[in-house]
Structure 1
């Protein structure tokens, strides 16, 4: 009976050591994964008052239709907070949105300006 008790005691300690080793391995895996993910993050989007932005509409996530446009706007940035939240103005109301759901909106540039280049036909 005494040998069985000692054997059981050793098995419990081995099990505890295996559990601690598994915990350490998972911690190191999480740290490596976080480093890998953080290395591939894009820079923080910075918005200024007066910028025009589009908002990602996540309501279409489950049944968007294949060609449905997921960005709404443009909205005008009323105020940008340091905590990544941005206050927007549009459709006669203001609301706050997470800055990760925004992208800058650029107005179309008028490309109809033509150069004054005169081409002369070649004389044969």
Structure 2
């Protein structure tokens, strides 16, 4: 009976050795996959850092564009104001020209009247 038990134990030990060998192979495959996963994680981390840098640059560019847009709006307002002032001055100049023309006509009439009065003496 001892021989039978010994044979059973040897058979169990042989099967256990086979399972241990399979487990070792699976462990090696798992380690390889872990190394690959770690490499992918490093690449992903690097891409994340690059993406973060791009995001910062994009935010800076957005701020610059907003500042330029504001500046453009301010300049447009100033130009509109200058155009209003110029139109106002142009209107005033036209009025002054009309007044000067009237003064010239009146002065001419007055000179004419003065000449007639001098002739009456």
The answer, yes or no, to whether TM exceeds 0.5 is no
User: TM class, shorter-chain normalised?
Assistant: 0.3 to 0.5
Of Structure 1 and Structure 2, the greater strand share is in 1
Report the TM-score when normalising by structure 1.
Answer: 0.36
Report the TM-score when normalising by structure 2.
Answer: 0.37
